C-alpha cells in the first residue's frame, strides 16, 4: 500500500501504546483477584520486623520540649470545641487507647513518648472525640503521630464490621485512607504506622506511582485496615473495572500536606476520591497543611463537616524558633556559590559533625553538585530527585538514615515529608526564585529542628531579579520571616528587593 503519513504512524503508535496499557491493566487485575482468591478471606501471616529492627534507637533525647511548650496553639470552631481538654501527657491515655497502641507509644524500648508536642496535645484529644479537624502545623511537629493515634483507636473501637464479601471478587476495603503528595511521604507514614501497629493484627498497604503495581496489589489483597496513598495511583486503582480498591467502608480519612497536594495539581484527583467515589459522607476527616492558603480553605470547607475544628500551631506558615537561620550573600556566577557552599559545609560537617541536606532548584544541579562534593572530599554524598528511580531514591535515603553518608542533595519534590532523625543542618544552594514558591523555603528548613530539637539553616542569596537565579523578589518575605522567628536580619537584606512584595521594584 501507499506509504503511511506521519500522522498515521503517530496514531498507530498511540493505539499500540493503549493496547499495551490495557493488557498491563488486565494482567494486574487478574493478579490481584488471584491473590484474593488464594487467600480465601484469610489474612496471610505478616512479615514482622522485630522490636529492635522497627524502633532501633528511637528515643526523644535532645528534644527541646521547654521551647515547644511555649508555642502558641489556637483552636476555633463551634463553641463546644473548647470543652474538650487538650492532652497533657501520653500516660493519661492508658485505658483510652488500644493496649498495643499505648505500649508502642510509651514504652522506652519503643517510641518512648511522654509529653505530646503542641499539635498532638490538641489533635489527639479532638480526634479521639470524633471531631473533623483542619490543622495548620509546621513539618517536624509530630503531626503523623497526631493523626495515627485517633485513626488506629477508631479502627480498634469499630471492631470487625462484617466486611466479608465472597472471596475472589472482593476489592481491597480499607477502614482508613491517608492521602499524601509524594511517595517519600507515603512511605514515611507507612513506616510510622508499622511502629504504632506493632504487636497488633492491623496492617497497612502503601500505594504510589513510579513503582511496580504488583507488590502494592499483593499488600492490598491481604485486606489492610489502612491504605496510605498518593492521589494518582489511588485514582487508578479506584477507577478500574472492576475496582481494585473500594472506599465504601472507609470511616476515617486523612489528607496530609494538603497544600502540597494542591500545589502539585492533584485537585481533580482529590475531588474524584473524596466526592465522586464510594467514600461515605459519614466519616471522620483530618486535614493537615503547613500553610492555610485560600485553595486549602476551600478544600477544607468542601471535605470537612460544617462543625470542624481549626487548630493552628504557632504562626500559620511560619518556621520554628528552634532553627537558627542564616543568609549568605553570593555573586551571580556559580563559582562564588560553589565556594561559599564549601565554607558552610566544612563548618557544619567538619567542625560540628552534622548531617546536612543541600537543596537545589533543578535535578541537573543536584546531579552536578553530588559529583562536585564527592570530588571535593566530602566523603559519601547521595542525591534524590525526580530522575532517580524509586529503588535508587530508597537506597539513597537508607544510606543517609543509617549515617553511611552525611550529605544528601535534594530537590523539593523529594523533600516534603522527609523525616530523618538528627539532621543538624539544611543548606539551600538555590533559594526559591518566585513569590509563589516562597513557602518552599519554610518546608525545606523544616527538615532540621524537628520534634523540638535544634537545627541550623543556611541559604545562599543571589541579588537581582533574574528569573532563573535572582532571589531579590523574596527579600521582603525573608525579612518578615526572620523577624518573626526572632532571627538576625543581615544589613544587606534590609535594603534588598525593595519594601513591597518584590518583583517590580528592581526592574525599572
* 363, 386 Cβ separation under 8 angstroms: yes
pLDDT above 70: residue 164: no
| 208-258 pLDDT per residue, tens | 998 889 999 999 999 899 999 999 999 999 999 889 999 999 999 999 999
pLDDT at 347 over 60: yes
Domains of the chain (ranges plus CATH)? 24-40+47-315 (3.40.50.300), 323-506 (3.40.50.300)
| pLDDT, the chain, mean | 84
CA distances from 443 to 205, 290, 322, 384, 428 (A): 27, 8, 14, 16, 11
pLDDT surpassing 80 at residue 9: yes
Gap between the Cα atoms of 21 and 212, Å rounded = 13
**How much is the pLDDT for 436?**
78
Say if residue 507's pLDDT is above 50: no
Hey, is 54 helix, strand or coil? helix
Q: pTM of the predicted model, to two decimals?
A: 0.69
> Cβ(256)–Cβ(185) under 8 Å?
yes
* More confident of the two residues 322 and 450: 322
How would you list the strands of the sheet with 73-76, edge to edge?
73-76, 309-313, 133-136, 284-289, 252-255, 176-179, 226-229, 204-207
Of residues 442 and 498, the one with the higher pLDDT is 442
Q: Which residue has the cell 528569573?
A: 467
Peptide bond into 242 cis (omega under 30): yes
pLDDT value at 124 more than 90 = yes
The answer to whether residues 380 and 400 touch, using CB atoms and an 8 Å cutoff, is no
Per-residue pLDDT of 276-303, as tens digits, reads: 789 999 999 999 988 777 888 888 888 9
* Interatomic CA distance for residues 377 and 372, integer angstroms: 9
More confident residue, 337 or 419: 337
Residues 6+ away with beta carbon under 8 Å from 31: 214, 217
Percent of the chain surpassing pLDDT 70: 87
Q: What number is the average pLDDT over the span 489-502?
A: 68
Q: What is the pLDDT of residue 254?
A: 97
Residue 312: the pLDDT is: 86
Tens-place pLDDT, residues 29-55: 999 999 998 887 777 777 777 888 888
Predicted local confidence at residue 126, as pLDDT: 95
At 42 the three-state DSSP class reads coil
What letter does residue 436 receive in the DSSP assignment? G
Q: Residue 92 pLDDT > 50, yes or no?
A: yes
Amino acid at each position: 500500500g501507499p506509504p503511511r503519513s506521519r500522522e498515521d504512524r503517530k496514531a498507530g503508535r498511540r493505539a499500540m501504546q493503549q493496547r499495551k496499557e490495557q493488557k498491563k491493566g488486565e494482567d494486574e487485575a487478574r493478579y490481584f483477584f488471584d491473590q484474593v482468591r488464594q487467600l480465601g478471606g484469610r489474612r496471610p501471616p505478616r512479615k514482622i520486623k522485630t522490636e529492635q529492627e522497627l524502633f532501633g534507637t528511637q528515643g526523644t533525647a535532645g528534644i527541646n520540649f521547654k521551647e515547644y511548650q511555649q508555642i502558641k496553639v489556637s483552636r476555633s470552631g463551634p463553641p463546644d470545641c473548647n470543652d474538650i481538654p487538650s492532652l497533657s501527657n501520653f500516660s493519661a491515655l492508658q485505658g483510652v487507647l488500644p493496649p498495643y497502641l499505648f505500649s508502642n507509644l510509651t514504652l522506652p524500648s519503643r517510641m518512648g513518648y511522654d509529653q505530646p508536642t503542641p499539635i498532638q496535645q490538641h489533635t489527639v484529644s479532638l480526634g479521639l472525640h470524633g471531631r473533623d479537624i483542619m490543622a495548620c502545623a509546621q513539618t517536624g511537629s509530630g503531626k503523623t503521630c497526631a493523626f495515627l493515634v485517633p485513626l488506629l483507636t477508631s479502627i480498634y473501637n469499630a471492631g470487625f464490621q462484617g466486611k466479608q464479601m465472597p472471596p475472589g471478587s472482593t476489592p481491597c476495603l480499607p477502614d482508613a485512607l491517608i492521602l499524601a503528595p509524594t511517595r517519600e511521604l507515603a512511605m514515611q507514614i507507612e513506616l510510622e504506622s508499622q511502629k504504632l501497629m506493632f504487636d497488633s493484627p492491623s496492617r497497612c498497604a502503601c500505594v504510589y506511582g513510579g513503582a511496580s503495581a504488583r507488590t502494592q496489589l499483593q499488600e492490598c489483597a491481604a485486606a489492610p485496615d489502612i491504605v496510605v496513598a498518593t492521589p494518582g495511583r489511588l485514582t487508578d486503582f479506584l477507577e478500574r473495572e472492576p475496582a481494585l480498591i473500594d472506599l465504601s467502608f472507609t470511616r476515617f480519612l486523612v489528607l496530609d500536606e494538603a497544600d502540597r497536594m494542591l500545589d502539585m495539581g492533584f485537585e481533580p484527583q482529590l475531588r474524584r476520591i473524596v466526592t465522586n467515589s464510594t467514600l461515605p459522607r459519614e466519616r471522620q476527616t483530618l486535614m493537615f497543611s503547613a500553610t492555610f492558603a485560600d485553595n486549602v480553605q476551600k478544600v477544607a470547607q468542601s471535605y470537612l463537616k460544617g462543625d470542624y475544628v481549626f487548630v493552628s500551631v504557632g504562626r500559620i506558615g511560619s518556621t520554628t524558633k528552634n532553627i537558627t537561620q542564616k543568609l549568605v550573600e553570593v555573586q551571580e556566577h556559580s563559582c562564588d556559590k560553589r565556594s561559599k557552599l564549601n565554607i558552610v559545609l566544612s563548618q557544619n560537617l567538619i567542625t560540628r559533625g552534622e548531617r546536612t541536606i543541600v537543596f537545589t532548584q533543578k535535578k541537573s544541579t543536584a546531579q552536578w553538585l553530588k559529583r562536585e562534593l564527592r570530588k571535593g572530599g566530602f566523603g559519601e554524598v547521595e542525591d534524590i530527585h525526580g530522575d532517580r528511580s524509586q529503588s535508587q531514591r530508597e537506597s539513597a535515603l537508607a544510606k543517609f538514615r543509617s549515617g553511611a553518608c552525611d550529605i544528601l542533595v535534594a530537590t523539593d519534590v523529594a523533600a516534603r515529608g522527609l523525616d530523618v532523625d538528627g539532621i543538624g543542618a539544611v543548606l539551600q544552594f538555590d533559594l526559591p526564585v518566585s513569590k509563589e514558591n516562597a513557602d518552599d523555603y519554610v518546608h525545606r528548613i523544616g527538615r532540621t529542628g524537628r520534634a523540638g530539637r535544634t537545627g541550623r539553616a543556611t541559604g545562599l542569596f543571589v541579588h537581582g531579579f533574574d528569573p532563573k537565579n535572582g532571589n531579590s523578589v523574596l527579600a521582603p518575605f525573608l525579612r518578615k520571616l526572620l523577624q518573626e522567628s526572632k532571627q538576625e536580619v543581615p544589613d544587606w537584606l534590609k535594603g534588598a528587593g525593595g519594601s513591597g512584595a518584590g518583583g517590580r521594584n528592581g526592574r525599572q
